[in-house]
Structure 1
Amino acid sequence: MQQRKSVLNILLWAVQILLAALFIMSGVMKLGYPIDKLAALYPWTGQVPAVYVRLLGIIDLAGGLGLLLPSLLRIKPILTIWAAIGIIVLMVLATLFHISRGEASVTGFNMAVTLLAGLVVWGRTRKYPVAPRAQCRQA
């Protein structure tokens, strides 16, 4: 049972790192790249107000950092769960956005990210929660 728990913990960390890297990279791109360069990669970014793209960059960056730092530093690790829930909400809204634009074919990625974030929520709440630093010292 301990080995299974250890494998799950490693899987959860891998998913958290993968999603964090994805969202941090996406946030940095949306915040730092010129809109015309972003639009060449993601056409919708050139068809919405730039402030919307930049705001999404901040949200992506916060989500990516939230998936990793609270658990890694063991400071309020429940924030990792909330970051994963926020990413689920963001991906559901992104899916609806793309469907409304007739881009349903690109929503598979959003759905995959939703499932991975759901795995983090489930794993960190039910199976392998990260204890806050204060609790680690007492144990």
Structure 2
Amino acid sequence: MFAAFVLFGFQKLFMPGEALAAMWQTRWPVEHPWLLRFTGVVDMAGGVGILMPAVTRIQPRLTVLAALGCTLLQISAIAFHATRGEFAALPLNFILLPFVVFILWGRGKKAPIVPRH
């Protein structure tokens, strides 16, 4: 999950909106550049937030918060693309959503990370 969110965040932050619009076959990156950059920041923060607290065991609750943010991002993306009729974009969101929900549940309830003392 770390790699997917960091990759998507990197694309959204550093690639031109026109290039992403052509690659994704949608106009929203050009129509809403602020949303493109904002979701890029959320993707990057989510990816790093899922991995780093778990690896370092420093502030491991941040993994749960990052997974929550990624979950809300995927739900928002599904609603956004569905209302725009961009159904070709939905499979990726429906693939990512159960993974981040699993991390949210797993690190929140099933197997929380023990903080470093």
TM-score normalized with structure 1 length = 0.77
Percent identity, aligned pairs only, is: 35
Instruction: Determine the C-alpha separation between the residues in 2 that align with 1:46 and 1:76.
Output: 34
- Where does the alignment leave 5 or more consecutive residues of structure 2 unmatched? none
Within-5 A mapping of 1:27-106: 27-42=9-24, 43-106=26-89
* Bigger-Rg structure (1/2): 1
CA deviation vs aligned residue, 1:60-103 (integer Å, no higher than 9, x gap): 11111101011111111011011111111110100000110112
Q: 1:49 to 1:75 in 2, by over 3 A?
A: same
The answer to whether structure 1 residue 114 and structure 2 residue 109 are counterparts is: no
- CA root-mean-square deviation: 1.4
Question: Quick one: distance in 1 between partners of 2:88 and 2:7?
Answer: 23
Task: State the one-letter code of the partner of 1:70.
Answer: P
Query: Could you tell which deviates more after superposition, 87-96 or 98-107?
Result: 98-107
CA offset at residue 108 of structure 1?
A: 2.5
Q: CA deviation at 1:104?
A: 2.9
The total of aligned residue pairs comes to 116
Question: 19-28 or 104-113, which moves further after superposition?
Answer: 104-113
Runs of 4+ in structure 1 displaced over 4 angstroms? none
TM-score (norm 2): 0.90
The one-letter code of the counterpart of 1:130 is I
Unaligned runs of 5+ in 1: 1-18, 135-139
Identify the residue that residue 4 of structure 1 maps to in structure 2.
none
Paired AA for residue 52 in structure 1: L
